[in-house]
Structure 1
Amino acid sequence: MKFDPPLVSGRLHKRYKRFLSDIRLDTGEEITAHCANPGSMMGLAKEGSRVWLSKSDNPKRKLAYSWELVETAPGGRAGINTGKANAIVEEALAEGRIPELAGYETCRREVKYGTGSRIDLLLEDPEKPPAYVEIKSVTLSRKPGIAEFPDAVTARGAKHMEELARRAVAGDRAIVFFLVQRTDAESFRVAEDIDPGYAKAFQAAVNAGVEALCYTCDISPEEIRLNRKLNL
């Protein structure tokens, strides 16, 4: 997923009210940018961090800038815009870079299912059961090289696991896809200490037949691209 137009860079002053961030651009201009991340962003919102932003030319937008990337260490980056996750995975699917999800004729986004839920991607083919793919954007890392999810309590995430488990029991494929939007991750784990409820729902879903996949990303100010699979 390429950034077009190219991102601009600056330094973070603060993130507040979850969806707002004050940033000083490299040009010296001070702006308020949209922060498209409902999580805690633990470890990613330190004052002075180098950040990269996209700019919209839509005159109807209240905030022209959106915070996209943050430097995690010299040379390391994380993608903080959770709204990009589905597009990154869908692009990789179209390019045939996720062998576990290959061989489906169609892919639809945001399809209603279960009890008031929407599945991120629904893969369908007349020769096989449908595959329900729930995508989770992963940005937390509290120990070097280890990516974790979630970074805050998520009742919604636990519900998604329960919905996927029901699809698996019914005979469909059900997949939770952890997209690690960090360049410094070597392994992944569920953060049980942060949200025991989610960890319990995740394990119950896996026991019911839900598949868990985890991939990292290559991240640069030019693009975010699916990289390689991590073992769970």
Structure 2
Amino acid sequence: MIEGVLIKRYKRFLADVQLSSGEVITVHCPNTGAMTGCAEPGWKVWLSRSDSKTRKYPHTWELVETDTGMACIHSARANKLVKEAFAVGRIPGFSDYPEIRTEVKYGEGSRADLVLEGDPGKVFVEVKSVTLCPAGGQGLFPDAVSDRGRKHLRELRNVLAPDTRAVMFFCALHEGVDHVSAAGEIDPRYRDTLAEVVAAGVEVLAWGAKISPEEMRVERPLGFSVDPL
């Protein structure tokens, strides 16, 4: 990974970073959220680089060292980390579902991030990356109003059946997070929908990740409550 210092993030998908050589480059920002608390100018960041000749900006912003811990702002990484955690048996309670598929079409035009399959049936899993950590280890999701997130919650509720489980998996890609809740002040409708689907039988898991320029992995269960403690 290439180390640098964040100058600014702008137009949602772009950021300017100063490298150790002093050169300033524009990089791709793979996060569509508000990134509150993860995009302060002057913070240390890490970039990956693609050799693709078709990319306008070969560098991608991956990590940032915040005031409260290391964070990965590349939200798509969460899906791969969670899949790996299930595959190696790190997440207890799913050993009877050895097969894993990704991006499975279901519901009303949605795609499940993961579908676990085994003798008991299926488990539909939606993965959300949590990086909003305002204070005291409290992680919040979403960091902006998310109609898409509410749709995913409803889709999970709708697949529940005697042989089908549904899991909302909050993957905290911020080492400062030790408890995850809905960000009701940011998106009250998401908070209410989450409470409804949990009452209907959708399971919620919250796990934290080890994050460094050398490796990332899901490694520790976190507390969860619909509302912040």
Under a length normalisation based on structure 1, what TM-score does the superposition of the two structures give? 0.93
Equivalent position of 1:88 in the other structure: 81
Paired letter, 2:72: G
Equivalent position of 2:223 in the other structure: 231
Deviation at 1:129, TM superposition (A): 1.9
Question: What's the secondary structure of 2:96's corresponding residue?
Answer: coil
Runs of 4 or more, structure 1, over 2 Å off, are 100-103
Matched-pair contact (CA < 8 Å) for 1:131–1:174 = yes
Unaligned runs of 5+ in 2: 225-229
Paired letter, 2:47: L
Q: Distance in 2 between matches of 1:8 and 1:100?
A: 38
Deviation at 1:100, TM superposition (A): 2.9
Matched-pair contact (CA < 8 Å) for 2:87–2:98 = no
Identity, % of aligned positions: 47
Matched-pair contact (CA < 8 Å) for 1:169–1:208 = no
Aligned with 1:99 (options 92, 99, 103): 92
Equivalent position of 1:4 in the other structure: none
Structure 1 residues 153 and 170, CA, compared in 2 at 3 Å: closer, same or farther? farther
Question: What's the secondary structure of 2:126's corresponding residue?
Answer: strand
Deviation at 1:188, TM superposition (A): 1.5
Paired letter, 2:111: R
Pairs aligned (count)? 224
Aligned with 1:176 (options 163, 168, 171): 168
Q: Which is worse superposed, 166-175 or 42-51?
A: 166-175
Under a length normalisation based on structure 2, what TM-score does the superposition of the two structures give? 0.95
Aligned with 2:27 (options 29, 33, 54): 33
Q: Which is worse superposed, 10-19 or 91-100?
A: 91-100
CA RMSD in angstroms, aligned pairs only: 1.2
1:13 lines up with 2:13 in the alignment: no
Q: Distance in 1 between matches of 2:59 and 2:83?
A: 24
Deviation at 1:107, TM superposition (A): 0.5
Unaligned runs of 5+ in 1: 1-6
Paired letter, 1:101: F
Q: Which is worse superposed, 95-104 or 113-122?
A: 95-104
Equivalent position of 1:69 in the other structure: 63
Q: Distance in 1 between matches of 2:220 and 2:16?
A: 33
Matched-pair contact (CA < 8 Å) for 2:87–2:100 = no
